[in-house]
Amino acid sequence: MTQATLNPTSTQKTPFDFPAQEAKPAGGMIPRIGDVAPDFTAVTTHGQITFSQWQGSDWAILFSHPADFTPVCSTELTEFAKRIEEFRARKTKLIGLSIDSVHSHLAWTQNLAKILNVKIPYPLIADLSTEVAQKYGMIHPGASTTVTVRTLFVIDPKRIVRAIIYYPLNVGRNVDEVVRLLDGLQTADAKGVACPVNWKPGDKVIVPPPKTEEEAEERLKGNYERYDFYLCKKQI
């Protein structure tokens, strides 16, 4: 399987889906998987945006970093930047956030271009009011009351939160895993399958579990890598 075989904008229901309410999170609650991503208007390094309009029909990855001009954050932002074409190939937009001013963001991105020779091509949200951070549960008082932890939300073209990852202040994200997660979500949507542990593109996927005795019997006869009727893999 190659990336070209997928339709990254597909969000069809799969046999692995559980009933979804597509509910909006209650006030003060962290958005959960299956919730509609909270919308907002904010100042960014690319100008003022309304999140839903900026996202359009693409996937989006919204991530927070604790603060500008910090070492771990510098490695994260530049790694995302160096791999921007991988995300574009998957019809996915990146957008970062911290509780800093737009002037601080601009000074930092210019500094990163100077010292690491990497230009940041995606927008950074200047969330001095913490409005967006509060909507997305990015401030964890047990870690810090003044900066965000390292959160990451994967949001599909229907603006549904599909995955959430949290990292602490002192450990940077694994961008390889972010790409793998995105590939898994898009593969599951496009092919109606699930992805097993440590899956990566090209590996076998898990076929939907049978829901009737007839389907269970058919599963035992099909062209699958069978472990039992409920656990079968196939190549796509």
For residue 105, tell me if it sits in a domain: yes
User: Among residues 155, 173, 191, which one ends one of the domains?
Assistant: 173
Residue 29: the pLDDT is: 73
Q: 178 lies in a domain?
A: no
Of 73, 120, 152, 181, the catalytic one is 73
- What pLDDT does 183 receive? 98
What pTM does this model have?
0.86
Question: Would you write out the chain's pLDDT as a tens digit for each of its 236 residues?
Answer: 334 345 555 545 544 443 444 445 544 578 999 999 999 999 999 999 999 999 999 999 999 999 999 999 999 999 999 999 999 999 999 999 999 999 999 999 999 999 999 999 999 999 999 999 999 999 999 999 999 999 999 999 999 999 999 999 999 999 999 999 999 999 999 999 999 999 999 999 999 888 888 888 877 777 889 888 889 999 98
pLDDT at 211: 86
Q: Is 73 one of the catalytic residues?
A: yes
Q: Which residues of 42-73 are buried (b: 16+ CB within 10 A; e: fewer)?
A: bbbbeeebebbebbeebbbbbbbbbbbeeebb
Beta strands 59-64; 150-155: pairing state: antiparallel
Quick one: 64 and 160 in the same domain? yes
Residues 84 and 126 in one domain: yes
Helices (H) and strands (E) in the chain, counts: 7, 10
In-domain check, residue 180? no
- The region, left, alpha or beta by phi > 0 then psi within -120 to 50, assigned to residue 119 is beta
pLDDT in tens, 45-75: 999 999 999 999 999 999 999 999 999 999 9
In this structure, what DSSP letter does residue 62 have?
E
Do 150 and 227 fall within a single domain? no
Q: Domain limits at 221?
A: 205-234
122 shares its domain with 222 = no
Instruction: Quote the pLDDT of residue 16.
Output: 47
Do 220 and 107 have their domain in common? Answer: no
The answer to whether residue 125 is domain-embedded is yes
Task: Kindly give the residue spans of alpha helices, DSSP state H, lying in the chain.
Answer: 51-55, 71-82, 84-89, 102-115, 131-135, 175-191, 213-221
